[in-house]
Amino acid sequence: DQQVKQNSPSLSVQEGRISILNCDYTNSMFDYFLWYKKYPAEGPTFLISISSIKDKNEDGRFTVFLNKSAKHLSLHIVPSQPGDSAVYFCAASEWIGGTSYGKLTFGQGTILTVHP
């Protein structure tokens, strides 16, 4: 039962263009969503997050959009740079009645390649 899905295993874009990574979820109790970037032989690095009460959060070149009705979120990277080439994971957590379950549920990841 995959509650968080990244349906695109890989994405290739040209330097300077926009990269759009997508993520779908099924659990309606998820209310905090995060994106992580991972380089080989390193742990995931936190990029940006969004609470379920918002539909957009922006941090520099990174913007996350949340569509709760569609249970869909996306990460936009503009402009894309070769250094952005990595595996990107979306993740979600549940908070019920003010209590955290602690765990993050991750998607399978999307390999982003940005060509010079």
**What own/partner pairs with CB < 8 Å and gap ≥ 24 does 58-63 have?**
62/35
For residues 96 and 33, the answer to whether their CB atoms sit within 8 Å is no
Only one of the segments 15-23, 28-36, 63-71, 77-85 lies at the binding site for another protein (rule: CB under 8 A); that segment is 28-36
HSE of 72, CA atoms in CB hemisphere, 13 A: 8
Token digits of residue 104: 């993050």
Find the shortest distance in angstroms from Cβ 15 to another protein: 27
Site string for another protein, 36-75 (x = CB under 8 A): x----xxxxxx--x-x------------------------
Positions touching another protein (CB under 8 A) are: 32, 34, 36, 41-46, 49, 51, 89, 91, 95, 98-109
